[in-house]
Amino acid sequence: MIELVPAGLVHAELLAGIHRICFAEPWSATSMAEVLALAGSEGLIAVDGGSLTPAAEAPGPAGLVLWRRIFDEAEILTIAVLPPWRRGGLGARLLDAAMGAAARAGALTMFLEAAADNHAALALYQSKGFQRVGLRRGYYGGVDGVTMSCRLDQTPVEP
């Protein structure tokens, strides 16, 4: 069973490890810690088979999501699912959790960005109500970045 647990500064190395597996240009542990230390930043780690406590029996990370809320806007900073857990709904679950938390904290709109060639991510975001609002040419090492937004006050989000 996969549990979503809050990410904290103590998890910076773990978050960076997940990111390193999922992205060609990963964030370092220092970058993860800096993001988590920002006001309004939150994160969740998907853990398969337990919790992140030492007493847990063979827990393993499966994914992550980090977001930041400033006033009535929020942004997904990064979301990642490790290969063995892809295509099983975990990305949607992480996105729903971030959207729900941001909405409960007062965000009305959420933004995110994805590489234009990441068709699975773009399809997921569109299925959750995100619409394209911009394009950053060559943002990801020559691949365009698609900027998207979603009205949280008009989109049903999971708790």
Active site residue ranges: 113, 125
For the chain, strand residue ranges (E) read: 2-6, 41-48, 60-70, 73-81, 109-115, 131-140, 143-151
CA separation (Å) from 142 to 50, 64, 145? 39, 25, 9
| Secondary structure class of 159 (helix, strand, coil) | coil
DSSP strand pairing (109-115 vs 41-48): unpaired
Cα dihedral value 9, 13, 16, 21, nearest 10: -150
**Other beta carbons within 10 Å of 97:** 19
